[in-house]
Every structure is written in C-alpha cells, then in structure tokens.
Structure 1
C-alpha cells in the first residue's frame, strides 16, 4: 500500500530520531519546536529542490526551521543567505542524501553548498564537488557564525571544506580531499571526524589562515581518524599565525614523518602554532617532526579538549523534539512546482 506524504514524514522523522538516539549528540540548548518543511524530488513534499525550500524561509527569520530532505541525488548549488538564520537541513543517511555539483575556480564561487547564515545545522548529508584535480573546487563553504554539522560527508579534491569564518562544530563527519582540503580562518572543533587524504605526495590536509595572534581562530581535531591513499602532511600555513591542533587522534602511515610544512616561508616557522597531543598510530610518531611543531603537555592541551574553545555549549543545539507544519506563507505544495 502506498503511503501519502504525511505518513511518510512521520515514519521519516521517527527513523531520524532512532538514528539520532544511537549516535552521539551535541550538547543541547533547550529542546524546542521547529517548523517542518519537506523536500522530495518526486513531488510528494513541500518542495522539489533544497534551494526552493530555503528561498521560502522569510528574511530575518527567528523560528527554528527544519528542512527534511528525502533521499536522492540533488544536482544543485545551494546557498543559505545571511538573512536566514536558524535553519537545519537534514537527511536520514549521508550516503542516501547527496547534494552534488561540478564547479571550479574561485573558492567563494565554486562551492556546491554555501552557508552565510548564523545558527545553521547540517545533518546526514553528502556534499560534494565532482570537479576533481586541477584547481580549487570547494564542496562546502561555511562563512556564518555558530554552524554545526553532524554525520555529513564532504567530498572534493582541492579546498574541499572552506571553513571560512565564524565558530563551527563538526561531529562524526567524513572529509575527503588531496590539497589543503580543510582551509580557512574559522574557529572550529572537529570531533570524531574521519579525514581521508587523496594526496600522492606531500600535499597538506589543512591550510589554516589565522592572520594575527589576536585572532581567536584555529582548527582542533579531537578524537579523529586520519587515513589516505599514499602520503601527506598535517598542515601548512595559509596565514602567518596559522593554528592547528590534533589531539587523541589516530594517524595512519599516510602522515609523513616531518608532519608539517612551512609553505616555503621560513619566517612562518616562528609564528605558527602546530600542536599534537597523545595521538596514536603509525603516522603519529613525533620523533622526526619539524622542530617548530609542538608536543603539547596536558596543561597546554586542556584548552583544545572541550567545546569551550568555540563556546559551543551555549549554541550547539540538539534535534527538535516537536514539529509543526509550515504555514501557507512558507509551505508551497509541490503540485504548484510540477
């Protein structure tokens, strides 16, 4: 017997809750009610495309918006504008909900998915740029403050994740690329993420762009896993005060013994902050690391071991427990888009 969309939505949301219950969750702000908007390519939801659903959210939105995306391959460039905060975009499984595009060139123009708004959440999505080797080709650009991603797959080759500005949290995400594939100047915590390098030489996983010692930015990888197809380094400095820390992270033999690269600028060796703390695996041996990287003490590492470094406890929110259907001002029955 075929299900109507309301039945499907109930089953889908229940499945999502069961999935969330079996996965670690963010420190919750208080639970709350969200406005539910559905996206379904077959026409059984409110919208057929993700961008149409975002476009329907009013400017200067103050409500929690939960955009539920049915499994499928969505070939579109997606932008969450700066004037549309408090949006969550969620699939049920990252492997089943795929947002894909093929573009290259400017790092701010090539992304498949761009987040300019604050208080954004992405859950269980694959976001990919299929351009491949040759030039910059961003999959995900995050330029809003207080953005969080859970269980997402972020895939490209060069500059995969432009972690641009703001405070960000990534949990249980899979991030793949070859050259500088996590780059930018955000203040970000990557917790229990899997970084997979496609580098076949000495390309860098990170290119953090901190410009001055007064900036409270940097990337921390906590309890992560690093693998790859051949060899790579952990990072190189896009900015002179680049700051990256790997803590309690498994490193396969993909990581070259020197660990880090100064991008051909000797002067940056005295200004960068590249630290490792209690990492393990064949790539974590620090005996041959460059002398300008650091083995952190427990006291030095303490700052990087909690969400306090991004103030996360005050803004990382859990999945809403109650939903209400969007009003006609937002929800637009898919028959009008046929």
Structure 2
C-alpha cells in the first residue's frame, strides 16, 4: 500500500510548473486570443498553439472566446507551459467525431508537459458500442483540468501517461470511459454513465507492480442513465481508489469486473473508502476487491492534502502582448 500512498503524495511533491528562468523573469503571461468571429488573434485553436515557439519557456495563456470549434487539436511535446481557457465550459466547445483508433481519434491531444485546461467542453460526438472514440488524450506530465466537461461514449478520457489532476470536471461516457496508465487524482468530479449495454467507469492500465500509477477519485459523484461498474483491469496491476464519493444506484452491487481474466484478481487493487449512496454498499462486492484499506491509507486520505496542487499554475492576473508573429484579426489561417 506504500505505492498508493505515493500516488496521492506525489501531488504534494511535484515541483512548480513554472520553469526556473520564467518564474524569476516573467511577471505576466503571454496572451493569445482565439475567436471564431475574427475578433481575436486567431480563429482556430490549433493556429494559436502553432504560434507558440518550440521549446517554449514562458507561460502562454490562450483565451478561447465562446463558440463551437470543430477541430482536432494537438499540443505538441515541445510546447510546454500552455494554458487553454474558455470563460464557461457550456459555451466554449471543442468538438470532433473521429473514431476507430484510441490514439488518433482524440478531439484534443496533450503531449506537452505543464498544460492547464480551464472552462472548456471537450467532446467526441461519435456514439457506437464497441468503437473507440476519444474526446481527450493526455500523454504528458503535470497536466491539470479545471471546471471542464469531457464528453464521449467509449474511452472518453484516455489518461494515458503522466501525473494529472482534475477538479470539478464533468466526465461522461459508457465503456471504459476513464482509461489509461496515468497517475491521476480526480477531485470533486461528476462521473456520468451512458451505456445501453455495458458500462465501466474505469479501465486503468498499470502493467507491473513497480509502476507508480493509478486513479484516485476523491469527493466525487457518480450518476447515470444505466447501470454499470466502477472499473475493470486493462492492465494486470490495475489500481483504482474511490474515497468519500457519492455512488447512486447505477453502480451494480458487484462493483468491479475482472475482464474475463481471473488471474488479474490477485494483482489488481480496487479500493473504496467512506463512500456513500445506494451504490456504495460493499456487502455484495466481488470477493477479490479491497473492501477495506489499511489504516495508513485511511489516515493519508483524511489529511489535508491541499499541497498536491503546488505544481499547478493559478490563472494569471497580468498579461503582456502576444508573440510578435501574431497580428490582431489575423485571417490568414481561417
């Protein structure tokens, strides 16, 4: 269980997301605006991201004005320290309809470290049972999302790799809709199941006992339109913990599934601690799930762990002009 303590403790130990030189010299973030109407620096989100220099060392704040942006967006690995922000998730919508490939179908792909997403809806509108259609893919370290809506059906959120933090996000889907091998904390998030046939909220993919990865859900809420389970193991050492989480009656009494491989029952860790609601009764859970966690984990979960966010940038209060390459009301990329 020391490994799961690490999973939550790493949010306390992470360094600041600001690069050392930028933290010392930059008093304001570089501001880029995206507006479909042509009143910003760019009309497309991808064009704004492309304007950020490779190996960027300054905090860049991309403000996305309300609108529906039908784009496949990629934040490249060589462009860290970007914040992508709307002002209201209900009115700032990034949308796609790609499917069939868990890596390539994502509407938004984050490959850069130190990325922050705020007040956005990120969705993949493709709906077919058994077909992968990712809304958001994250494959980088120190990434955070606040007040976002992440919508899809199968594999909605591919939390692929790295340390991630989600707060007050609404995440919707059906089959394995939070999946991958990240080390991720979901705090006060709302998880909503949609399945017409089978619903699994998580499919965590930890492959070996040495990997410090897993999903922790803290103070979350689970609702749905159909019944489902809390998770099943994509990887043989899958790890998921739900703590202080409201579970409606959509959660089936068995709680968890071994994905047809009984050998994984002895290597996964599925924990529940002080959850409540009609779906939180552990008396009929599968016998191989962890109904009770060791005292050391309980003590850690009840501590004040606000320091876990020390590596996450706050919203800038001051801005300076964007890169010289960007011209106001630019239309060359429309």
Scaled by the length of structure 1, the TM-score of the pair is: 0.88
Matching residue of 2:297: 300
Matching residue of 2:63: 68
Is the Cα contact below 8 Å between 1:247 and 1:276 reproduced in 2?
yes
Matching residue of 2:11: none
Distance 1:306 1:221 in 2: 15
Matching residue of 2:158: 162
**SS class of match (2:176):** coil
Matching residue of 1:204: 200
**SS class of match (1:215):** coil
Matching residue of 1:262: 258
Matching residue of 1:272: 268
Measured after TM superposition, the shift of residue 92 of structure 1 is 0.4
Q: Counterparts in 2 of 1:29-68, with a 5 A limit?
A: 33-68=28-63
Q: Match for 1:144 among 140, 146, 155?
A: 140
Q: Counterparts in 2 of 1:70-219, with a 5 A limit?
A: 70-134=65-129, 135-219=131-215
Give a deviation string over 1:273-329, Cα, whole Å, max 9, x none.
0000000000000000111111224422344567969x8344112111211111313
Is the Cα contact below 8 Å between 1:29 and 1:318 reproduced in 2?
no
Distance 2:302 2:97 in 1: 36
Is the Cα contact below 8 Å between 1:201 and 1:232 reproduced in 2?
no
CA RMSD of aligned residues (A): 2.0
Distance 2:43 2:118 in 1: 19
Scaled by the length of structure 2, the TM-score of the pair is: 0.89
Measured after TM superposition, the shift of residue 230 of structure 1 is 1.5
Q: Unaligned stretches of 5+ in structure 1?
A: 1-26
Distance 2:150 2:39 in 1: 27
Distance 1:167 1:335 in 2: 36
Q: 1:29 to 1:162 in 2, by over 3 A?
A: closer
**SS class of match (2:98):** coil
Matching residue of 1:253: 249
Is the Cα contact below 8 Å between 2:150 and 2:172 reproduced in 1?
yes
Q: Match for 1:323 among 295, 319, 325?
A: 319
Tell me, yes or no, if structure 1 residue 240 matches structure 2 residue 236.
yes
Give a deviation string over 1:18-65, Cα, whole Å, max 9, x none.
xxxxxxxxx997895210000001111000000000000000000000
Distance 2:172 2:144 in 1: 18
**SS class of match (1:44):** coil
Is the Cα contact below 8 Å between 2:80 and 2:115 reproduced in 1?
yes
Q: 1:168 to 1:306 in 2, by over 3 A?
A: farther
Matching residue of 2:328: 333
**SS class of match (1:269):** helix
Matching residue of 1:17: none
Aligned length: 310
Give a deviation string over 1:96-141, Cα, whole Å, max 9, x none.
0000011001111000000000000000000000111130000000
Task: Tell which deviates more after alignment, 32-41 or 78-87.
Answer: 32-41
Deviating runs (4+, > 6 A) in structure 1?
27-31, 306-309
